C-alpha cells in the first residue's frame, strides 16, 4: 500500500458515494488507474464494506450508553457466547473486548430509558455469564468518527 492508496482510502472514508471520476480527480489519478486501485483494495479486504451513516436523532435513537460488562469468570467459551449474544442485539452498535477491570465495553443506542431497561433485562440481567455491568449515559456526543487515521 502506497501514498496513493492511502489518499484513496482517506477520500472514501470521508465520502464513499464519490464517483470514480471524482475520486480520481481528488487523488490525482486517471479514472482507470483509480478504479484498479479501489478494486484491489476491496479484493485484499482493506475496504470491507461501504455504508450509509444515519443521524440517530432523526430515527429516534436518542440515548447512547457506554456499558462496562464484567463476566462471571475468565473463560473463552463464555466470552464467545457473550460476543454472539451482543452481535445479535440490534441495540449494540459497538462491542469491544478490553483489558483491565472490565471484560467488555458496549456502545448501546436506544430511543428511551424504557428501551434500555428492556435491553438490560433481555441481554444482561438474564445472562448467568454476566457478573455485573455499569452504565454510563452519554449526555452529548461531541465527536463521532468512522474514519481510521491513516497518517500524513
3-state secondary structure 114-125: HHHHHHHHHHHH
Looking at the structure, tell me whether residues 39 and 62 fall in a common domain: no
Confidence tier at 55 by pLDDT (50, 70, 90): confident
Q: Where are the alpha helices (DSSP H) in the chain?
A: 3-14, 20-27, 31-43, 76-88, 113-119
Mean pLDDT for the stretch of residues 101-129: 95
Looking at the structure, tell me whether residues 125 and 63 fall in a common domain: yes
Residue 71 counted as domain residue:
yes
Looking at the structure, tell me whether residues 65 and 130 fall in a common domain: yes
Looking at the structure, tell me whether residues 111 and 63 fall in a common domain: yes
Instruction: Look at residue 152 in the predicted model and tell me its pLDDT.
Output: 60
* 63, 123, 120, 127 alpha-carbon torsion, rounded to 10°: -150
Mean pLDDT for the stretch of residues 70-85: 95
Q: Quick one: CA dihedral 136, 137, 142, 148, positive or negative?
A: positive
| Structural domain harbouring 128 | 56-137
Mean pLDDT for the stretch of residues 110-138: 95
Looking at the structure, tell me whether residues 63 and 31 fall in a common domain: no
Per the structure, the count of domains in the chain is: 2
Residue 20 counted as domain residue:
yes
Looking at the structure, tell me whether residues 36 and 60 fall in a common domain: no
- Quick check: 151 pLDDT over 90? no
Alpha carbon distance 136, 122 (integer Å)? 19
Residue 151 counted as domain residue:
no
The structure's pTM equals: 0.84
Residue 48 counted as domain residue:
no
Looking at the structure, tell me whether residues 18 and 77 fall in a common domain: no
Which CATH number characterizes residue 25's domain? 1.10.10.10
Alpha carbon distance 91, 34 (integer Å)? 37
Amino acid at each position: 500500500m502506497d501514498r496513493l492508496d492511502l489518499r484513496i482510502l482517506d477520500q472514501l472514508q470521508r465520502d464513499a458515494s464519490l464517483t470514480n471520476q471524482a475520486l480520481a480527480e481528488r487523488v490525482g489519478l486517471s479514472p482507470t488507474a483509480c478504479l484498479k486501485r479501489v478494486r484491489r483494495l476491496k479484493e485484499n479486504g482493506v475496504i470491507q464494506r461501504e455504508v450509509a451513516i444515519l443521524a440517530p436523532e432523526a430515527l429516534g435513537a436518542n440515548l447512547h450508553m457506554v456499558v462496562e460488562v464484567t463476566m462471571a469468570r475468565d473463560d473463552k467459551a463464555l466470552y464467545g457466547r457473550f460476543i454472539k449474544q451482543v452481535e445479535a442485539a440490534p441495540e449494540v452498535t459497538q462491542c469491544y473486548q478490553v483489558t483491565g477491570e472490565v471484560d467488555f465495553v458496549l456502545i448501546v443506542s436506544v430511543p428511551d430509558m424504557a428501551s434500555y431497561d428492556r435491553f438490560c433485562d433481555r441481554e444482561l440481567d438474564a445472562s448467568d455469564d454476566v457478573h455485573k455491568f455499569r452504565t454510563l449515559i452519554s449526555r452529548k456526543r461531541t465527536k463521532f468518527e468512522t474514519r481510521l487515521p491513516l497518517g500524513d
